[in-house]
Structure 1
Amino acid sequence: MNPTLDLILGADALRAPLTGIGRYTFELARRLVQRDEVARLRYFSMGRWVADPLAGLDAPDGEAVAAPADRGRAPPASLRTRLATSPLAVRLYAACSPRLLGWRLRDQGRSIYHAPNYIVPPFPGAAVSTVHDLSHILCPQFHPRARVDYLNLTLGPSLARTAHVITVSEAVRQELLARALMPPERVTAIHLAADAVFRPHTPAMLAPAMQALGLRAGRYSLFVGTVEPRKNIARLIEAYARLSRDLRLTWPLVLVGGPGWHSEAIHARMAQAQAEGWLRYLSFIDQRWLPAVYAGARLLAYPSLYEGFGLPIVEAMACGTPVLTSNASCMPEVAGGAAHLVDPLDVEDLAHGLARCLEDEAWLVQARTQGLARAAALSWDRCADETVAVYRQLS
């Protein structure tokens, strides 16, 4: 096959530690460089060309990461992160950046530009955008005002200059179409996947992480994600509190995730439950332990209120860990019939589901088998194949 695709990939999210969008960009990029159809792949980030943004970014995915000595303490915020919380700075950036970025890209019209993090800059050629969710429209209360303002200011103009949109689930695709933001023939849903490091573990593989973190394999429930209102952690803790004392102490709830926006009240409730002996908050952990933490859990409880994809669901399934998740947003689609679904707004339903999942050995065996099959059906190679097919439509 003759190489024909000249690609420019937005690399803004390629920075350590890799969170969801960064992981997506990384997995896509390292496969694109190996594709026979790709004649050239370049990276563009924050108005400049970047030679090798993949270097050093080969650790597994996870929202809760840090070196062992920093466990419990978040990495220092970058200047860019601090400015992103300022409404004034965000408005100034949204107003000024298109001119600068457009000028830098003014002579690249023969290439295809892919923005894997929502926003396509002014570009003279064909452009692809990946829209991960529409939470700034559907549930703006779950975000800082500056982020909502930024996406409200920039997403519309970005879509206007986008030839094709990729969404990470059919649920998000339908949300986009319901608001007439793009015509259906120009929107394709392409699922994400779990990294290969997320796999079932033997007792010997589990032992180092269990010892380092003070956990017992098979003796805890797990939540992985940033501590913020959208993740529905307050209701998860309330539901867990309704379980019998024996259940709570036999399988305590372990929360792994860095502090997020507007999380003070959640942390206060977590501290109370931790004092009562049935909750552990690990905050930032060494990223190398994350697959074992998944694999060592009896259950992943992920009752998020809204997601674009919900990567922890697939990561847990790939590790052979049964999953309880929400019956809302994209979660049923991602789970593919392999998880127990609950109403995330109904604490009683959530508590009932937790009890059933923790105690029903037959369901646990079935969920492990079905979850492994579901995770195997979602691969980064398939994601890259379907993305290249979108590029081909535009070349």
Structure 2
Amino acid sequence: MVLSVDPVKFPLTGIGRYTYELGKGLQSEALESLKFLRGYRLSDELSQPRDENPMAGTPAWKRFAQRNGLTVAAFRHLSPWLKSRALKGLEDHIFHGPNYYLPPFAGRSVVTIHDLSHYVWAQWHPPERVRYMRAEMELSLKRASVIITDTEYTRQEVAKYFTWPLDRIFAVHLASGPEFAPRSPDELAPALRAMRLEPGGYCLFAGTVEPRKNLSSLLQAYGRLPKATRMRWPLVVAGYRGWNSEDLHQSLQAAQSQGWLRYLGFVPQQTLPLLMAGARLFVYPSHYEGFGLPVLEAMASGVPVVCSNASSLPEVAGSAAAMHDPDDVDGLLKLLEIGLEDEVWRARACAAGLDRARQFSWKKCTRETLAVYRAVSEA
């Protein structure tokens, strides 16, 4: 078995977390001949994610090369060949690409397709990324023995869009880690104090700041809450700066200057579970998700959740979250009022969220992925 671990890098967002947790799970199963491919090198050990940007301290010439269109294009053409060469002689192994891509490989291959946003919502990505992703995904589909998706929603979407047989697509749910759990105010206070926050004193959004996450609707709705509510429980936004987010950041700055919003930027992995557990309410109004891992992490933390009813989110949240149409700002506003002020609903949502989160685990994800590998090896 060979698992590509290129996604395990700064910042460790959803796909990186999935890859890392799956790698840990496979290691714990003591598989024979388990190897990890990072770049063009094979290793018997899983690399650890970083909590700091590796670009910091990188020479200027290297940063320029990484941003230069011609250099990037040449790298993208060369990279599959170099990966293929690294895999030579391992044709008796199964290769798993956990992030849409599969290099040329003479053995059997498994690819994880997390969502089809580059096809169905192309306007939410840079045009050059859309072209590259589509080209690489279509090559991956030609090379794959089977496909894994994060949800049944995406499984059906992939089958319909690419006319792939459903019996060669497997839905394997992700999970929240044990670090996402309810915590006492005393346990939370030191870390939150460093961010000038108090346990239970804020509403939280965590995710990449980009148009797909629908932060614009959240800012409109939150801005219409009574001023006393906004000032008592300010909105905290934690997330890496994403593509085409200049207007969003201007809106964030305007709300911050009015005193009812805090933008924290990227929050280190060891701090994020504390920030999550300290929230009074977690809100995730995204237009489209392949899974929506932060929703599950919030539920596992004992925090009530308001999220959109778009794409895979109902499959993940079940009946434990209050849901709204992503374009319905009025509906979101009403749910924010309930989520912040209705103690009966909040208690019920916390309990339901904890029950829902227990239905997902990385151990289960690993076990079901291993079942996919066995199906491939026996085919």
Q: How would you bin the TM-score normalised by the shorter chain?
A: over 0.9
Structure 2 stretches of 5 or more lacking a match? none
1:41 aligns with 2:34: yes
1:31-71 CA-partner distances (Å, limit 9, x unpaired): 112215x21101112222234343x43x8xxxxx659xxxx
Partner SS for 1:127: strand
1:87-113 CA-partner distances (Å, limit 9, x unpaired): 545543443333333233232211010
Instruction: Give the superposition deviation at 1:118.
Output: 1.0
Partner SS for 2:35: strand
1:288-343 CA-partner distances (Å, limit 9, x unpaired): 22111111111001001111111100110010000000111111111011100011
Quick one: structure 1 residues 81 and 10, their matched pair in 2 at CA, closer, same or farther if it must change by over 3 Å? farther
Partner of 2:3: 9
Instruction: Give the superposition deviation at 1:284.
Output: 2.7
Letter in 2 for 1:44: L
Distance 1:270 1:52 in 2: 41
Compare 375-384 and 288-297 and name the one that shifted more: 288-297
Quick one: structure 1 residues 223 and 11, their matched pair in 2 at CA, closer, same or farther if it must change by over 3 Å? same
Instruction: Give the superposition deviation at 1:139.
Output: 0.8
Partner of 1:288: 270
Distance 2:88 2:193 in 1: 55
Partner of 1:224: 206
Q: How many residue pairs were aligned?
A: 375
Distance 2:261 2:277 in 1: 18
Structure 1 stretches of 5 or more lacking a match? 1-6, 60-64, 68-73
Partner of 1:273: 255
**TM-score, normalised with respect to structure 1:** 0.90
Distance 2:227 2:334 in 1: 14
Partner of 2:220: 238
Instruction: Give the superposition deviation at 1:258.
Output: 1.9
Asked whether the equivalents of residues 15 and 22 of structure 1 are also in contact (C-alpha less than 8 Å), the reply is yes
- From 317, 325, 330, the equivalent of 2:312 is 330
Partner SS for 1:200: coil
Quick one: structure 1 residues 295 and 13, their matched pair in 2 at CA, closer, same or farther if it must change by over 3 Å? same
- From 309, 328, 332, the equivalent of 1:350 is 332
Quick one: structure 1 residues 340 and 77, their matched pair in 2 at CA, closer, same or farther if it must change by over 3 Å? farther
Compare 23-32 and 282-291 and name the one that shifted more: 282-291
Distance 1:41 1:263 in 2: 40
Instruction: Give the superposition deviation at 1:80.
Output: 8.9
1:29 aligns with 2:23: yes
Letter in 1 for 2:7: A
Quick one: structure 1 residues 261 and 112, their matched pair in 2 at CA, closer, same or farther if it must change by over 3 Å? same
- From 9, 13, 21, the equivalent of 1:19 is 13
Aligned 1:313-392 pairs, distance under 5 A: 313-392=295-374
Partner SS for 1:384: helix
Asked whether the equivalents of residues 205 and 284 of structure 2 are also in contact (C-alpha less than 8 Å), the reply is yes
Quick one: structure 1 residues 229 and 89, their matched pair in 2 at CA, closer, same or farther if it must change by over 3 Å? farther
Partner SS for 1:130: strand
Distance 1:144 1:81 in 2: 20
Instruction: Give the superposition deviation at 1:162.
Output: 0.5
Distance 2:352 2:23 in 1: 30
Asked whether the equivalents of residues 98 and 122 of structure 1 are also in contact (C-alpha less than 8 Å), the reply is yes
1:117 aligns with 2:114: no
Of all paired residues, the percent bearing the same amino acid is 45
Quick one: structure 1 residues 139 and 86, their matched pair in 2 at CA, closer, same or farther if it must change by over 3 Å? farther
Instruction: Give the superposition deviation at 1:374.
Output: 0.8
Quick one: structure 1 residues 51 and 40, their matched pair in 2 at CA, closer, same or farther if it must change by over 3 Å? closer
Partner SS for 2:336: helix
Quick one: structure 1 residues 101 and 135, their matched pair in 2 at CA, closer, same or farther if it must change by over 3 Å? same
Asked whether the equivalents of residues 111 and 125 of structure 1 are also in contact (C-alpha less than 8 Å), the reply is yes
Partner of 1:163: 145
Partner SS for 2:74: helix
Partner SS for 2:332: helix
Partner SS for 2:111: strand
Asked whether the equivalents of residues 304 and 346 of structure 2 are also in contact (C-alpha less than 8 Å), the reply is yes
Partner SS for 2:306: strand
Instruction: Give the superposition deviation at 1:200.
Output: 0.2
Asked whether the equivalents of residues 34 and 44 of structure 2 are also in contact (C-alpha less than 8 Å), the reply is no
Letter in 1 for 2:186: A
Partner SS for 2:181: coil
**TM-score, normalised with respect to structure 2:** 0.93
Instruction: Give the superposition deviation at 1:158.
Output: 0.8
Quick one: structure 1 residues 129 and 333, their matched pair in 2 at CA, closer, same or farther if it must change by over 3 Å? same
The structure showing larger relative contact order (alpha-carbon pairs under 8 Å, at least 6 residues apart) is 1
Distance 1:337 1:254 in 2: 25
Partner of 1:175: 157
Partner SS for 1:223: strand
Quick one: structure 1 residues 17 and 39, their matched pair in 2 at CA, closer, same or farther if it must change by over 3 Å? same
Letter in 2 for 1:52: E
- From 107, 114, 126, the equivalent of 1:144 is 126
Partner SS for 2:180: coil
